[in-house]
Amino acid sequence: MGMPLRWEKGYMDGGKRRKKLPARRIRDIAWGSSLIVLALGLLLCLLYWELWRQPIQVDPRSYTALYRREDGAVAARMDLSALLNACHLPDPRESGLEIGRYPDIQALLSMELQLAYGQDGNMELSLRADTDTLRRWGIELSPLEFTMEAPAYVAPREKKGSLAVEQEPAEEEKPLTEGYLTSLLDPYGRGYNLRTVCEEVQTRRDQAAKSLFKDEYETEKLQLNFIVFPVGQPYRNCYRAVYAIREKTDSSAKMQKVRYLTVEVLDLAYSSREGVTFRRSSLRMPDTLREAESLSEYEEMGCTCFDLYGGGMRNEERSAFDQNGFVRFFDTATSFQMANGLYWSPTYDLLEEDDIWRLTAVKGHSLANLLRYARKEIYARHYVRFSETAEKEFLNHYTGYGWYEGHFDREDIALSETEKANLRLLREIQSLIEK
């Protein structure tokens, strides 16, 4: 009698018996299969990582365009919107974007273009960027220095609404002249640091005022000139300030005593080691305002007399503001919008004293007035409201640019310590040149 057909461990259909595998061998096969799958997974991960970590090669020349402004000067524009797209990065202007998660975007937005005039009508460009951060996040900028042909066209290559960084070229290199000054503008058209001269003027003024009215006086600067003497005269130049000195009186006084005063700082000279120095100063007390303000004595000697506007000599070839309405400082990049929505300008970073003194009076603005704008732009950057009465000039200025909308009161914003330090320094220098 045959064996009944049944299904049992170790049997197959058809009645043929299959050898039973040892449990240990089954475990070995399972482990081996798992290890093979794991190894393949690791290999795929390594291949993906190797491919992913290869930096994106970005050629700045592909995103940079040169153009000529209306005044004929060459300027540069870099299309950041296109660059961000090439790097597969989002536009920082998108609402809800947590920019703190994108140090690569922040590094790209902080780039600066430096321009200089080269040979044969070419422009030499240098790109300053946080290359270490960009490399960590897979972006390689190269080359950082390159040459481009100066263009003949006027308008920049600009896409409406695009994010960009723009820069005008540095002035052609000229050595600063050592010796007596024949102008208060250096060969670059920048102002000199006149702190020592202004302090001398105010010291001599206050000494004279105290001798007249003790500590009960107030001063008003009426006129400021820089005078260059012809060859053969005993002096080379003169920084001349005219003041009205008034005795402080109570409201019952019928008449306020007034005296006029001129302070002359003579033989201003520049050296790279000491900056601007002078030989001596003198003081006069004319009897009348007309006598105090008259320059006929110097004109008869053949002197060249310059008016100083708000403490500075006027540079007729320079504009006061950049394309976004921020004060144009020498040797710095022009303003641009940062990832946090605020606008960068030189007043966003810590200013050196020489940075401020390099500013000059320009057509339509005295030096003192430019320093006021440099202070006001710190608040404008934070979208602070300006008074329609006391600050109407600044309100009209900033509302003329599309980026500005006054949303906040001064007490509602938080200035950085750097911005606070800049405000203090700007006020100090403004006081030196105005008072």
Q: What is the DSSP track for 167-217?
A: EPPPPPP-PPPPEE-S-SB-TTSPBP--HHHHHHHHHHHHHHHHHHHTT-E
d(CA 223, CA 214): 24
Q: For the chain, which residues make up each domain, given as ranges?
A: 23-54, 56-167, 179-307, 336-434
d(CA 345, CA 339): 14
- The DSSP element (H or E) to which 262 belongs, if any, is strand 258-266
**Closest C-alpha among 344, 341, 339 to residue 102:** 339
Cβ(398)–Cβ(380) under 8 Å?
yes
Alpha carbon separation from 384 to 83, 412, 413 (Å, rounded): 32, 9, 8
Q: For residue 289, give both structure tokens.
A: 């305002």
Amino acid identity of residue 326, one-letter, is F
pLDDT in tens, the chain (435 residues): 454 444 444 444 444 555 555 666 666 666 667 777 777 777 766 655 444 456 788 898 988 888 776 666 778 888 888 888 888 888 777 756 776 778 888 888 888 888 887 766 688 888 888 888 888 888 888 998 898 887 765 545 454 455 566 666 555 556 677 899 999 999 989 999 999 999 999 999 999 999 999 888 999 999 999 999 999 899 999 999 999 999 987 665 566 789 999 999 999 999 989 999 999 999 999 999 999 999 999 999 999 999 999 999 999 889 999 999 999 998 887 888 877 788 889 999 999 999 999 999 999 999 999 999 999 999 999 999 999 999 999 999 999 999 999 989 998 899 999 999 999 999 999 999 998
**Closest C-alpha among 238, 206, 235, 236 to residue 221:** 206
